[in-house]
Amino acid sequence: MNIYPWQDDLWKRLVPPLPHALLLKGRSGIGKLDFADYLAQSLLCESPLQDGKACNACVSCSWFANACHPDFRRIEPESELTESGRKVRQITIDQIRSLAGFMNLSTHRNGYRIVLIHPAEAMNTHAANALLKTLEEPSGKSLFLLVSHKPHQILPTILSRCQAIAMPFPGPAEAEKWLRGQGISEPAPYLSEAGQAPLVALHLAGEDPSLRERFLQEIASPSSLDAVAVAEIFQKTDLSMILRWLQKWCHDLASCAFSGKIRYFPDLSDKIMEVSRKSDKFELMRFQRTLLEAQKISIHPVNARLFLEELVLNYISLTVK
């Protein structure tokens, strides 16, 4: 484990003593969580290197690698049923309360006691209020690491008790270089599709490109698009992935219509311009909201084939004049 090259400068600036609570904020897919993890491991390490980085060899580092370090807690959302019976992923008050014992114990190795909360915006109000009490009475060498890409959704009273760090992200050249180092020989199209977020680009490159190409090819010709056939072909595919492709495609169509800009699929700009010209741009914007809603139920659709067929028919109706 190590940090990403675009985080090197930040690492040098983070000199102990650190405040009791840090908020690592920034867009998705730039390595905030990995950085938080590495910072925690390094602060807990018993023989850190000269630059403060973890040695990856001591008992503490091996505990950390095995997710069993007694002075470290990771709080992530658990699924909960709401009153309407819908499942949402939240960080609950019980999860925050369970920290009480941990915060009051003396640490095992007489060092830091670290709590990582990710994503911090997933705390519901009760959980956030419970955390507030703990943040107001910091004990000993404790450190809270809050990681968030939606800091505006966190209670202001919590924000005011954290030192915020805007997490850096790489420029295009640095991102491309890093992706090549990960074995992606042609990173540029993935980076465009990922909105320049390197970790998202890496994930996209791992998706089956032939499947994506095939899907894009189909929807790039809406006038000859056969919704039944497309649903048949892609019903066994990860639906949230298909939805993401369709969302990005429709974003490009709308954006091209309104401002001439193409963000995700610059390679297909000719096709996008052509389809965009024939589309109803306001309907396209409405359709994007439909797709967002669809994304929520895409994990467990009642019938994947019908689900896809309906979406594709909807898409055809607004792209064919």
Positions that interact with Zn ion (CB under 5 A): 45, 54-55, 58, 61
User: Smallest distance, Å, CB 179 to Zn ion?
Assistant: 29
* 27/109 with CB nearer Zn ion: 109
Residue 292 dihedral angles phi and psi, to the nearest 5°: -60, -45
* 45/318 with CB nearer Zn ion: 45
User: Smallest distance, Å, CB 75 to Zn ion?
Assistant: 23
Contacts with 54 (C-beta within 8 Å, 6 or more apart), sequence order: 1, 38, 41, 42, 44, 45, 48, 61, 64
Q: What is the DSSP string of 12-77?
A: HH-PSSP-SEEEEE--TTSSHHHHHHHHHHHHH-SS--TTS---S-SHHHHHHHTT--TTEEEE--
User: Smallest distance, Å, CB 41 to Zn ion?
Assistant: 7
User: Smallest distance, Å, CB 67 to Zn ion?
Assistant: 15
* 1/297 with CB nearer Zn ion: 1
The pair of structure tokens assigned to 91 is: 């960080």
* 34/280 with CB nearer Zn ion: 34
Angle between helices 209-219 and 239-259 (to 10 degrees): 50
Q: Is 207 helix (H, G, I), strand (E, B) or coil?
A: coil
User: Smallest distance, Å, CB 127 to Zn ion?
Assistant: 32
